[in-house]
Chain A
Amino acid sequence: MKAKYDVLVIGAGPGGSLAARTAAELGLSVGMVEKRPAVGAPVRCAEGIGKEGLAEFVKPDPCWISADLRRAEIIAPDGTSMMLESEMAGSKVGYILDRKVFDRELAWQAAEAGADVMVKTRATAPILEDGRVRGAVLSSCGETRNVEADVVIAADGVESKFSRWCGIDTTIPVREIMTSAQYLMTDIDIDPYTTVFLLGNEVAPEGYLWIFPKGDRTANVGIGISGKKSGPGHRARDYLDRFVASRFPNGKTIEHIVGGVSVCKPLPCTAAGGLVIVGDAARVVDPLTGGGIYNAMFTGRLAAKTAADAISCGDCSKEALMPYDSAWRESPIGKTIARNWHIKEYLIRLPDEKLNDIIHSAASLNMKEFSTLNLVRELMKRNPKLVVELAALRALLL
Chain B
Amino acid sequence: MLQVHRDICGYCGCCVSVCPEGALELIDAYLAVEDGCTGCGICAKVCPLGALEVVDEGKV
Contacts and interface: CB of A to CB of B under 8 A. Distances in A.
Q: Is chain B a partner of chain A in the same complex?
A: yes
Interface of A: 35-37, 42, 44, 120, 122, 157-161, 164-165, 170-174, 177, 179-181, 227, 230-232, 235-237, 256-260, 262
A161 B25 contact: yes
Contact of B17 (A172, A231, A236, A258): A172
A256 B16 CA distance: 19
Nearest to A157: B13
A101 to B, nearest CB: 20
A179 B17 contact: no
Nearest to B48: A236
B57 interface: no
A35 B13 CA distance: 13
A161 to B, nearest CB: 7
Given A161-B25, A227-B45, A237 B50 contact: yes
B18 A172 contact: yes
A35 B48 contact: no
B45 A174 contact: yes
9 contacts: A172-B17, A174-B46, A179-B14, A179-B46, A230-B45, A235-B48, A235-B49, A259-B13, A259-B48
Interface residues of B, number: 23
Interface in B1-55: 10-20, 22, 25-28, 42, 45-50
Nearest to B26: A159
B50 A171 contact: no
A177 B13 contact: no
Contacts of B19: 171
Chief secondary structure at chain A's binding surface: mixed
Nearest to A264: B17
Given A35-B28, A122-B27, A235 B16 contact: no
A232 B48 CA distance: 10
Contact of A44 (B13, B20, B42): B13
A90 B43 CA distance: 39
Given A161-B16, A161-B22, A179 B28 contact: no
Contact of B28 (A36, A171, A262): A36
A43 to B, nearest CB: 10
B42 to A, nearest CB: 6
B14 A232 contact: no
A231 B15 CA distance: 13
B50 A232 contact: yes
Given A36-B28, A37-B28, A164 B48 contact: no
Contacts of A256: 10
B12 A164 contact: no
Contacts of A159: 13, 16-17, 25-26
Given A35-B28, A44-B12, A120-B28, A160 B49 contact: no
Contact of B12 (A227, A235, A259): A259
A174 B42 contact: yes
A260 B12 contact: yes
A278 to B, nearest CB: 16
A236 B15 CA distance: 13
A256 B12 CA distance: 11
A233 B32 CA distance: 25
A230 B16 CA distance: 16
A237 B17 CA distance: 19
Nearest to B16: A159
Given A171-B17, A174-B18, A259-B14, A231 B45 contact: yes
B35 to A, nearest CB: 14
A388 to B, nearest CB: 33
Given A35-B26, A171-B22, A260-B15, 18 more contacts: A35-B27, A44-B13, A157-B13, A158-B13, A159-B16, A159-B25, A160-B17, A161-B25, A171-B17, A174-B42, A181-B48, A227-B42, A227-B46, A230-B45, A235-B49, A260-B14, A260-B17, A260-B18
Nearest to A223: B48
B46 A258 contact: no
The CB with the most chain B CB atoms within 10 A, among A173, A259, A262, is that of: A259
Given A37-B28, A171-B20, A262-B17, A177 B50 contact: no
